[in-house]
Chains A and B, each alone.
Chain A
Amino acid sequence: MRGFKISVLSGKGGTGKTTVSVNLAKVLNNSVYVDCDVEEPNGYLFLNPQIEEEKTVEVIIPEINSDKCTLCGECVKACRFSALTKLIKKILVFDHLCHSCGACFEMCPYDTIIEKYKPIGTIRKGKAQSVDFIDGKLNYGEATGVPILKEINKLIENVDKPVIVDSPPGTSCPVIHSIEGSDLCILVTEPTPYGLHDFDLAVQLVKQRGIPMAAVINKAGEGDNIIEEYCEKEGIKVLAKIPFKKEFAEAYSKGKLLIEVDNEVREIFDKLSTDALELIKK
């Protein structure tokens, strides 16, 4: 199958983004599942991949060579993220605030700053039966997972398989990095007023980036019409509705794939994948 990229996002965590991503990747077969939710990558709990490769992601942070430093303070002035402070006898680096922008290196008139590599997380590659698996994980307390997302993007740039990206929750900068270059964004939402509110934020974001989109209503049932009316108005196709059942919540809690516990859900996902491919072809 030709390569394409579908990003699954949700505006907010907990709406079923991972559920949709892992089940879709599984149904597509011979696909690549990519977990970009680097703060809490949970896709592996459902796919149980055999990890074949693990790689550390590093960023560059400054290290001041205090023998040569004249304490002129130029670096402190240059840093817009307050990651450097001048003490009486030395320059202190707060590495969790550093954005690795390189300004201090460039601005030091005495060339006293050394580039130090600091690990901020890991990328794992593996296989979950017919699905290729990639996930990124950010170390505790690190400011941003964006460098990990950039590395992941390089890995999936040229694969000629369908790529399903489980995006980070929310609508901020990491989401933009993870959806970049997608052929389709699938927005997962719940039919509640909150769900609609978060969904609307995600829709605006995807619109801004000019990527085609479609919706999936999770925990469908009563109240679906608030999402459906909105989608109609915005011209967004509702690809599927996943019903709300207590068994699903139980299956999820045990790390089971919904398509494997329920035939109805399997049919929903089969249809979802066909319809999604239709949208991409257009």
Chain B
Amino acid sequence: MKQLAILSGKGGTGKTTAATTLSSIVKNKIMADCDVEAPNLNIILQGEIVEKEDFYGKETAVIDKNKCIECGLCEELCRFNAISNFEVNPYYCEGCGLCMYKCPVEAIKLVEEKTGHVVYAKTKAGEKVVYAELFPGADGSGKLVTQVRKKAVENIGDSEYLIIDGTPGIGCPVLASATGVDLVLIVTEPTLSGFADMKRVLSAIEGFKISSVVCINKWDLNKEVSQQIEKYCEENNIEVVGKINFDETVVKALKNLQSLSEYPDSIVYRQIYEMWLKIKKILDERVESK
């Protein structure tokens, strides 16, 4: 199994477009949508749910009114201001347990809260995708990302590649999306913020010793910044494996819920295809040399 994680630092740079297009290009793979807060992959792949597993992502303190003697200690101790008037605000409670440990009459329990599902789906064409459904307000934690990846590995079958559509941002779920993969593909766009975000992801994963390659999406929108990105990559020994044009086809495909593979003659499709060949070569070489 060869694992590729697609990251972007920030949403909206075309990460999912890259992921869905790769999904149609790479045949023997399973996809893991680790953008657990806004999983979009299966919307386009339209797979049927094969398996759905409850996810208990969080513990929350619950006060037993009958036992509580209203001493107020828990409220005083809680560092997250989650308790007031002997009631726990579940949105603020981090489930640290301090109140439970300290309550003099053992009136507090921690209750596991179901915060979502991990779903395994399969399309008619046999494409496999694992993603999460998170209840609104629940945290898309690293734990959930790990769970999605685990489920994907369980269902890998004879697939050769695991492609992970990573979490945006640079927080803990991102690290969970990228740890232990063979290669990270960073999708960036030639904007000042895109460039800044790309550098932030690179620093975030630096400590993990995973090699990265870069794809500049809509590179022709701002050739100057594109050049800066390329220069930065060259100086830091990061290969730019793809430069994707700005193309209305992408917008059209998005609106019609289509994959770019339905526009095989479009320049963007061809560019992503060529990018995959480069990625594949790197992946295969890396895994073989292990």
Contact = CB atoms under 8 A, between A and B. Distances in A.
Interface of A: 11-15, 18, 39-40, 42, 45, 78, 80-81, 96, 99-103, 106-107, 138, 140-145, 169-173, 176, 191-194, 197-198, 201-202, 204-205, 208, 219, 222-223, 244, 246, 249-250, 252-255
Contacts, number: 162
A176 B94 contact: no
Contact of A140 (B10, B134, B140, B170): B170
Interface stretch (B148-156, B158-166, B249-257): B249-257
Nearest to A142: B171
Given A40-B196, A78-B101, A194-B44, 8 more contacts: A15-B12, A106-B98, A172-B139, A197-B43, A205-B136, A205-B137, A253-B189, A253-B190
A216 to B, nearest CB: 15
Contacts of B44: 194
B79 to A, nearest CB: 5
A107 B101 contact: yes
Nearest to A74: B101
A250 to B, nearest CB: 6
A42 B98 CA distance: 37
A175 to B, nearest CB: 8
Contacts of B110: 80
B147 interface: no
B272 to A, nearest CB: 18
A141 B207 contact: yes
9 contacts: A140-B170, A140-B203, A145-B171, A172-B137, A194-B43, A197-B43, A201-B38, A205-B136, A249-B246
A64 to B, nearest CB: 18
B136 A12 contact: no
Interface residues of B, number: 57
A102 B102 CA distance: 12
Nearest to B140: A172
Interface in B171-191: 171-172, 175, 189-191
A106 B137 contact: no
B192 to A, nearest CB: 5
A106 B102 CA distance: 8
Contact of A208 (B13, B43, B59, B136): B136
A99 B94 contact: yes
Interface of B: 9-13, 16, 37-38, 40, 43-44, 59, 77, 79-80, 91, 94-98, 101-102, 110, 134, 136-140, 168-172, 175, 189-194, 196-197, 200, 203-204, 207, 218, 221-222, 225, 246, 251, 254-255, 257
Contacts of A15: 11-12
A106 B101 contact: yes
A45 B98 contact: no
B12 A42 contact: no
A13 B11 contact: yes
A204 to B, nearest CB: 4
A168 B59 CA distance: 23
B96 A80 contact: yes
Contacts of A80: 59, 95-97, 110
B10 A208 contact: no
B98 A176 contact: no
Contacts of B9: 40
Q: Top 7 nearest A-B pairs by Cβ distance?
A: A14-B12, A13-B11, A101-B96, A253-B191, A14-B11, A42-B193, A170-B37
